[in-house]
Amino acid sequence: MRRLYLVLVLFFSLTITFKFSSCSGTCKENEKNALLRLKKEANDPTNVLSSWVDKEDCCNWEGVLCNNITGSIIELSINGWDWSEFKGLKIDNFQWLPSLENLDHLDMSGVDLSNVTNWPEVINMLPSLINLRFSNCSLHSLPPVLDHNNSVLENLDLSLNKFSSPIPGWIFSFSSLVSLEFTGSNFTGSFPEGPFNLTSFTTLRASSNSFGSVLPQWLFDLNNLEYLDLSYSGFKGPIPRGVGNFCNLTYLSLASNNLNSTIPNWLYGCKNLETLNLKENSLEGTVSDLISNLTSLTSIYMSENFLSGKLPSVIGKLRKLEDLDLSENRFEGEVSEIFNTMNDCPPIGSGNCSSLMTLRLNDNKLVGNLPKSFGLLSNLQFCFMSNNRLEGLLTEEHFTNLTNLKVFSASKSNLTLRVSADWIPPFQASDIVMGGWRLGPEFPLWIQSQQSIMNLDISNAGIVGEVPSWFWNLSSQIRFLNMSHNQLIGEIPTISISDSSMGSGGPWLIYLSSNNFSGSLPHIPTMVTELDLSNNSFSEGLTNFLCDKTNESYMLEILHLGGNRFSEKIPDCWVNWPELRVLNLGENKLTGWIPRSIGALSNLKSLDLKRNKLSGPLPSSLNNCTRLWKIDLNENELHGNFPPWLGTSLSNLIVLTLRSNKFDGELAPELCQLNDLQILDLANNNLVGDIPQCVNNFTAMVNGRKLIRDGDDEMDYSYYVGVFRESASAATKGNIHQYDTILSLFTSMDLSNNNLSGNIPMSLTSLVGLRSLNFSNNHLTGSIPRDIDNMKVLESLDLSNNQLSGEIPESISSLFSLSHLNVSHNNLSGRIPVSTQLQTFSPSSFTGNKLCGLPLAESCSKNPEVENEEEDDGSGDDNEVEWFYVSMAIGFIVAFWGVSAPLLFIRPWRRAYFSYLDRKWKSWHT
């Protein structure tokens, strides 16, 4: 009996072992031939199928698994893509597949199946198939209807394909379906309408598609669903509210859609939920305190919504929580509450109860100071609290146990850090971002202890005096350094990058603007990518800096040296700076001509040389800089004809300002080819001739902004968004204004103070997105265009000191955005139109004309010329009408009494008249 038992155990053990291992000598001949046919017909550049040799048992081939008892192939797994060579296996047909009739697992992830159009029908011929994975197979078509007979399929993966069509409902009709994945498969249209009989369904991964529909209600009624990812898929509308027993979820992501409801209460009942991701939607309302019921939560992501109310402090009671992101919302209240609850666990004094590793509260409306309990979060590694309204004093106690802190970002707050001179923080951070804190007046010595520092922002920190020498040695490992807007003095030594940091890659960003650094410019390594030394006291020339290494090319993309004391000429060695995208040398004392080598900057997008003493014409080599968005050469001594190549070669220009120079000649029609132009300022030059009739080609002035294309969003150049954003100055409403964050929304045209003549082009009124227009101090004639009311967003209009004639068009009263108007000193006449705005302007806006009416003191009724015109146009007609009716009345009276009086007062006449009437009456009746 014992011997029989051992035999049975051995038999079943071998059966189980062989079932899940390759067998020897049992491969079915027809199935082997099918796979050999596949190999023969496939395109296999990386030899994925090299082990498939005819002389060997197919059960020993790579990717093939057989049933040891029957010899049938039950699993076929082929990884078809070779990432090292960026090529892989391609199969054009599935005619071989039906021969594998016992297949229960088929994985062809990465195999190119783009030519296999009938794969659903072929798969339908495999009745035992349980797992099907066709991820990243370049599939592009699915039949809208499929009458399948498979009742055992459990796992289906169609992710990373190219369907470009709606999801057919039959995909959800497999009754045994457990898991379904189609992440990044480019499905479009509405989600299938349910319900479906999916009693075993637990997992749906459907992110990164383009559905554009509301969330399907039936999906939220599936009681057994545990994993649901619908992120980045274009869903809109509310999150479904009325759901069934939908509480088995452990993972829920609805991130990066267009959902616009409040957070439904059913969500707070999913006690098994571990990850909740609702970020990047338009959710509003508050976060309920019921969220404290979700005790299994490890990750909460709700950033970039419109959530408001007090910060939900009960979240601090979630002891398993590791990642909390509530950034970029509208939360308010005391920031201290959430930290106090994180460390409030019985028994009192038991230590840190929080598992929190990542905390993001930045970009809200939080107030108050960080409590000392913040320093007890010993697991905290990443903390982001910038852009709130925090204020108060922090000491060493606030950082007591933060031994794991790697990133601390809390800039743009009114916080003060007061520590002892010998304080050594308990952490070694890679990122310390404390811009706007009160850290001074002494340079913060505790930074010397941060040997792992890579990103440091202590800008606008009230630091005064010289930078200690040890810091310049430490800075060789810092990739992002911002010490701008302090009162630092002295010279900057040669900037270097440590050997240990060279291999970590860039970018290398140095921002030291708005201090009192002096002397000559420091030499920089060639791999620095952004350098801002503007608004300091650097002097001498630029030659030693720009022409230091003539045989090497610099990687610098942003160079801002404006607002210093540089003199001499701009050196002619720009060929060494081929990566430059932003060059600002404005507001210095530079002289001479703009060098020709500046045309070598083919990547240049922003050129600012304003307020120098530059002379000569614009170099024609500048037409090689075809990517330019902005040219600002204001207030120099440049001269020559306005170059027509500005319009033909620099068609991407958004800002063109040549104000206050000595340019002459006519405005070439090629100027109108600058379709993206938003700001055109040519004021205070010697330009002559007519304003081109083609100004309506300024498409950006029609649309109100440049149309986004080619991935260009805002004019933001820095690696870190918002650190270096484009700006431009424009004269509007009688003053010079600086535009940066709203530059992309501002449009302006200023041709004032030239010698332009002719009429104002009628096509000008097509610029319906224009906000500021100034043609003053020219020699323009003709009338103000009558269709000026088309320019609905016009805020400032100055046509003063010209020779315009005629009336002010009545349509101007429809410009409700107009807040500045000046038409003084022209030859305009007539009544000033009546509107809610025109009468509120200063009388000086209309003086020097022949106008009347408010706001001028001259009343139209008392103006002799106007009165004569009114008499000619109206009074004469009225008199003629009155005398016409008087003459009619006199004629009637004379005629009536001329006949009636003799009949009444002379008897013989009366008898004769009635006898005559009597005879006529009788004759008519006979």
Distance CA 394, CA 418 (A): 6
Q: DSSP class of residue 872?
A: I
Give me the amino acid identity at 410.
A
Of 630, 597, 638, 584, residue with least CA distance to 614: 638
Only one residue has tokens 């498409």, namely 699
The beta strands (E) that lie in 512-629 are given as 516-519, 530-532, 537-538, 558-560, 582-584, 591-592, 606-608, 613-616
- pLDDT score for 368: 94
SS3 content of the chain, % helix, strand, coil (to 5): 25, 20, 55
What number of other Cβ atoms are within 10 A of residue 601's Cβ? 23
Count of alpha carbons within 13 angstroms of residue 548, beta-carbon side = 16
Only one residue has tokens 């429809």, namely 814
State mean pLDDT over 757-778: 94
Residue 353 class from Cβ within 10 Å (0-12 exposed, 13-18 middle, 19+ buried)?
middle
| Mean pLDDT, the chain, integer | 86
**CA pseudo-torsion sign 405, 411, 414, 417:** positive
Distance CA 763, CA 741 (A): 30
Residues 6+ apart with CB under 8 A from 906: none
pLDDT tens across 582-594, in order?
999 999 999 999 9
Higher-confidence residue of 22 and 613: namely 613
CA-to-CA dists, residue 604 to 336, 566, 580, 586, angstroms: 47, 22, 6, 16
- pLDDT score for 798: 96
Distance CA 911, CA 902 (A): 11
Helix H or strand E segment including 843: none
pLDDT tens across 460-481, in order?
999 999 999 999 988 888 999 9
pLDDT tens across 846-864, in order?
999 999 999 998 888 754 4
- pLDDT score for 909: 46
Per cent of the chain over pLDDT 90 is: 66
Residue 86 pLDDT level (bands cut at 50, 70, 90): low
Residue 621 pLDDT level (bands cut at 50, 70, 90): very high
What number of other Cβ atoms are within 10 A of residue 896's Cβ? 10
Residue 193 pLDDT level (bands cut at 50, 70, 90): confident
- pLDDT score for 363: 96
Residues 6+ apart with CB under 8 A from 897: none
Only one residue has tokens 């005879």, namely 919
Give me the amino acid identity at 190.
S
- pLDDT score for 872: 45
Rounded to whole angstroms, the maximal C-alpha distance in the chain is 169
pLDDT tens across 173-182, in order?
888 999 999 9
Residue 19 pLDDT level (bands cut at 50, 70, 90): very low
Of 482, 731, 718, residue with least CA distance to 606: 718
pLDDT tens across 131-175, in order?
999 999 999 989 888 887 777 899 999 999 999 999 999 999 888
Per the CB < 8 A criterion, the answer to whether 223 and 197 are in contact is: no
pLDDT tens across 239-275, in order?
998 666 668 899 999 999 999 999 999 999 999 999 9
- pLDDT score for 889: 46
Phi, psi of 764 (to 5 degrees): -60, -35
- pLDDT score for 117: 86
Of 479, 493, 392, 393, residue with least CA distance to 432: 479
**Lowest-confidence pick of 4-18, 535-549, 753-767:** 4-18
- pLDDT score for 418: 96
Distance CA 475, CA 456 (A): 9
Per the CB < 8 A criterion, the answer to whether 528 and 556 are in contact is: yes
Helix H or strand E segment including 909: helix 907-925
Long-range pairs for 393-400: beta carbons < 8 A, 24 or more residues apart? 393/369, 393/418, 394/369, 394/370, 394/418, 395/419, 396/420, 396/423, 397/372, 398/370, 398/371, 398/372, 398/374, 399/375, 399/425, 399/426, 399/427, 400/372, 400/375, 400/376, 400/426
- pLDDT score for 844: 94
Residues 6+ apart with CB under 8 A from 41: 91, 92, 93, 96
pLDDT tens across 689-739, in order?
999 999 999 998 988 776 544 444 567 788 876 677 777 777 777 777 777
Higher-confidence residue of 925 and 614: namely 614
pLDDT tens across 871-913, in order?
444 444 444 334 434 444 444 444 444 545 454 445 544 554 5
Count of alpha carbons within 13 angstroms of residue 756, beta-carbon side = 30
**Token digits for 706?**
């440049």
Distance CA 699, CA 526 (A): 40
Residue 9, pLDDT above cutoff 70:
no
pLDDT tens across 383-403, in order?
999 999 999 999 999 999 999
Helix axes 876-905, 907-925, angle to 10 degrees: 90
DSSP 540-557: S-SHHHHTS-TTS-----
Give me the amino acid identity at 267.
L
Residues 6+ apart with CB under 8 A from 756: 667, 687, 688, 689, 690, 691, 775, 778, 779, 780
pLDDT tens across 321-373, in order?
999 999 999 999 999 988 887 765 544 344 455 799 999 999 999 999 999 99
CA-to-CA dists, residue 440 to 419, 437, 455, 514, 523, angstroms: 11, 9, 19, 16, 28
Residue 924, pLDDT above cutoff 90:
no
Phi, psi of 81 (to 5 degrees): -115, 130
Residue 2, pLDDT above cutoff 90:
no
**Lowest-confidence pick of 16-20, 437-441, 457-461, 570-574:** 16-20
Name residue 657's beta-bridge partners.
Answer: 632, 681
Residues 6+ apart with CB under 8 A from 755: 686, 687, 688, 778, 779
SS3 26: coil
Per the CB < 8 A criterion, the answer to whether 784 and 799 are in contact is: yes
Residues 6+ apart with CB under 8 A from 112: 43, 80, 88, 89, 90, 91, 137, 138
- pLDDT score for 548: 81
Residue 17 pLDDT level (bands cut at 50, 70, 90): very low
Distance CA 279, CA 254 (A): 8
pLDDT tens across 641-666, in order?
988 899 889 999 999 999 999 999 99
**Lowest-confidence pick of 58-62, 98-102, 444-448, 547-551:** 547-551
Distance CA 860, CA 920 (A): 67
- pLDDT score for 148: 74
Of 574, 654, 580, 584, residue with least CA distance to 612: 584
- pLDDT score for 881: 39
| Pairing assessment for the beta strands 64-66 and 73-77 based on DSSP bridges | antiparallel
Distance CA 31, CA 98 (A): 9
